Structure 1
Amino acid sequence: MTDNKSDGVPFAGTSSTRDAKSAMKRVSSDLYEMIGVKGKASDNFPGVTKCPDKDAKTHFRIYHPWSFTPAAASDIDEALERLKRAMPEHGWKIVEYGPDTSKDKNINLSADHDKKKVSVIAVKMDKDDPPQLSLDLISGCYEVPDGEEADPY
C-alpha cells in the first residue's frame, strides 16, 4: 500500500472500529465474489489490532483471516486463478505471486488495494484435506474520530 508513514503502515483515514470492521467485511465479500467458484467461506469475523508506534486508544488496524473451501477439491486451482485474474480489474495490485518456502510449496498471492488501504495474502493450500484458500487481510492504520476511543473488540 502506498502513502506509507515512517512506521511503514499507511494511514487509512478516520473511522470508528465498527465502521472499519464493516468496510473490511465488504472487502472480504468482494474477494469471495472474485473467486467465482462454488464453495464455502469460513465464518471468521474481522478483529482489531494495534498500529505500530501509535496510541491504542486512538489508532487501530483491522485484520480479517478467513478461508475458502471449494465445493469440489479439483476447483482449488481455478479458485486462485480466478481471484488472480479479477483482482487488477477491481483496483488490486498484485505484489507477489509464487510458491512459498514451505515443504508443500504453497502458492502465495500478495496484493494491495491502495484506495481501500487493505492488503491481502491468499495462500493455496492444496495439500490440505480438503484443499482451501487461506486469506489474511489487514488494513492500514485508522484514527478514531475526535472524542472517541478505539474499541479493542
Structure 2
Amino acid sequence: MEDHASGMDYQPKSRPPQEVLTEVKSLSSGLYDILHVRGKTTAPGPMASNCKSDDNEEGSLQIVRHPWSLYGVNNASLQKGMSNLARELPKRGWKIVKNGPNRSEARTLEILAVHMKTRTQMHAEWLRGLDAGTEPLIAFDVYSRCFKPE
C-alpha cells in the first residue's frame, strides 16, 4: 500500500473534490454494509485536506479521508464484522493487502485493502476495549489517492 503521508509512486490526477468526496463516502457506506453488524457509528463524514507529500508544493494536492468507527456492540459481533470484511471485500472489488494482527503489544487485528477500480485505500482495526473504561470498536480510515483539485 502507498503511504499517503510521504512520497508517491503515482502521478496525481485532476479531479473535482466533490466527486472524490462522493466516491469515498460511497465506498465507506459499502464497508458498513459488508460488516452486517448494526451498532453506532461516529461522525463526521469524509473531508478533503491537503495531501502531505514530498511532491506537494504549497498545498496543490488534496486527499479525501473518512475516519469513522463502529461501536456499541460486543466483541463477538465485532469479530464477526471483521470476518465478514475479510470474506466480502474481494467480492466488491477490494484487494486485501494485510489481514492479521498488527505489531502493537495488543496484537490488534487489522485489515488493509485497496479498491482496485478507484485506488481508494481502507484500514480497519478491531480495538477490543480491554483497558478499563474503553469500549470495543472497529476503527476505519478510508482515504483517496492524492489528487489535483479541478
Residue identity (%): 25
Q: Which one of the candidate residues 133, 136, 141 is aligned to 1:136?
A: 141
Cα gap change, 1:142 to 1:87, in 2 (>3 Å): same
Q: Structure 1 residues 46 and 57 mapped into 2: Cα distance closer, same or farther (>3 Å)?
A: same
Equivalent-residue separation in structure 1 for 2:121 and 2:9 (angstroms):
11
Quote the Cα distance in structure 2 between the aligned partners of 1:41 and 1:56: 34
Check the 8 A contact 1:12/1:117 in 2, yes or no: no
* Residue 148 (structure 1) aligns with: none
User: Residues 39 and 120 of structure 1: is their aligned pair in 2 closer, same or farther, counting only changes over 3 Å?
Assistant: same
Q: Secondary structure at the match of 1:34?
A: helix
Amino acid at match of 1:94: I
Shift of 1:69: 1.5
* Number of residue pairs the alignment of both structures matches: 141
The residue that corresponds to 1:96 in the other structure is: 98
TM-score (norm 2): 0.82
Structure 1: unaligned runs, 5 residues or longer: 146-153
What's 2:34 paired with?
Answer: 34
CA RMSD of aligned residues (A): 2.1
Q: Residue in 1 aligned with 2:109?
A: 107
Q: Which amino acid aligns with 1:95?
A: V
Partners of 1:36 and 1:12 in 2: CA distance: 34
Report the 3-state secondary structure (helix = DSSP H, G, I; strand = E; otherwise coil) of the residue aligned with 1:141: coil
Deviation at 1:71, TM superposition (A): 3.1
CA contact under 8 A between 1:110 and 1:121: conserved in structure 2? yes
Distance 1:10 1:40 in 2: 36
Amino acid at match of 2:84: R
Q: Is the 8 A contact 1:96 1:110 kept in 2?
A: yes
Runs of 4+ in 1 over 6 A off after TM superposition: none
Aligned residues of 2:73 and 2:136 also touching (Cα < 8 A): no
Partner of 1:46: 46
Gapped regions of structure 2 (runs ≥ 5): none
2:25 and 2:46 in contact (8 A); partners too: yes
Query: In structure 2, what is the equivalent of residue 66 of structure 1?
Result: 68
Mark the CA change 1:11 to 1:62 in structure 2 (over 3 Å): closer, same or farther. Answer: farther
